[in-house]
Chain A
Amino acid sequence: GAVVSQHPSRVICKSGTSVKIECRSLDFQATTMFWYRQFPKKSLMLMATSNEGSKATYEQGVEKDKFLINHASLTLSTLTVTSAHPEDSSFYICSAADRGGEKLFFGSGTQLSVL
């Protein structure tokens, strides 16, 4: 079946640095990808919708300048956490829908730890 690859699976960084997370659809084209955030023992919260070739749509309360999303191709969306702080430490997971929107696949997630 279709696979969504997310990289890196785990990253530790110093406060103030920026971290880029990649989400790739491996065998299908995804015009739309989604980014979620999950705090420990909590639910997943939708952060933004990544649209190929256009600006991302952010959910209320999500800082777009803090969480930069780029969807430059039909198979790749990136989330950059800029000037990361300890409160940004979380599990980030992406999902991608195929062109017809019939199938939705999740990446394996990225655990970000900011020291």
Chain B
Amino acid sequence: AQKVTQAQTEISVVEKEDVTLDCVYETRDTTYYLFWYKQPPSGELVFLIRRNSFDEQNEISGRYSWNFQKSTSSFNFTITASQVVDSAVYFCALSEHGNNRLAFGKGNQVVVIP
């Protein structure tokens, strides 16, 4: 069974608009880690954030922010005032037991239109 669900496949926004990417996860573990990665067309995975299951604080890093809600098993990601350079595929991932074996969602293709 898929453990990470990213329902939106492709999202197009006009530059300077905000975009929110949803991530819903499924796990029976009480200790787990959630990740977001950016994959530009070049293919490499760019680390954005790692959050453990005991830390429900929301986080903001520049134009990026994350909303973690254990009650709904969601770890959503928002890009504020999007820029063309934000165009990429964004993956949400889950690691159970902290073992670094990542289960990835299907990814969100974000297209920022100038």
* A108 interfacial contact with B, CB 8 Å: yes
How many Å lie between the Cα of A106 and that of B101 in the bound state?
Answer: 12
CB distance from B47 to the nearest CB of A (A): 7
- Contact A43 B100, beta carbon cutoff 8 Å: no
User: A91-B43, A106-B45, A109-B43 are contacts. A42–B98 as well, Cβ < 8 Å?
Assistant: no
B44 CB contact (under 8 Å) in A34, A41, A97, A106: A106
How many Å lie between the Cα of A34 and that of B107 in the bound state?
Answer: 19
Centre residue among A41, A45, A49 by max chain B CB count within 10 A: A41
* B66 interfacial contact with A, CB 8 Å: no
Which range holds the interface residue count of chain A?
A: 20 to 34
Which range holds the interface residue count of chain B?
A: 20 to 34
- Contact B98 A101, beta carbon cutoff 8 Å: yes
- 21 inter-chain pairs at a CB distance below 8 angstroms, sorted by A residue, are A34-B101, A36-B102, A36-B104, A42-B106, A42-B107, A43-B104, A43-B106, A43-B107, A44-B102, A46-B103, A49-B101, A95-B100, A95-B102, A101-B100, A104-B95, A104-B100, A105-B47, A106-B44, A106-B47, A107-B44, A109-B45
How many Å lie between the Cα of A104 and that of B94 in the bound state?
Answer: 13
* A75 interfacial contact with B, CB 8 Å: no
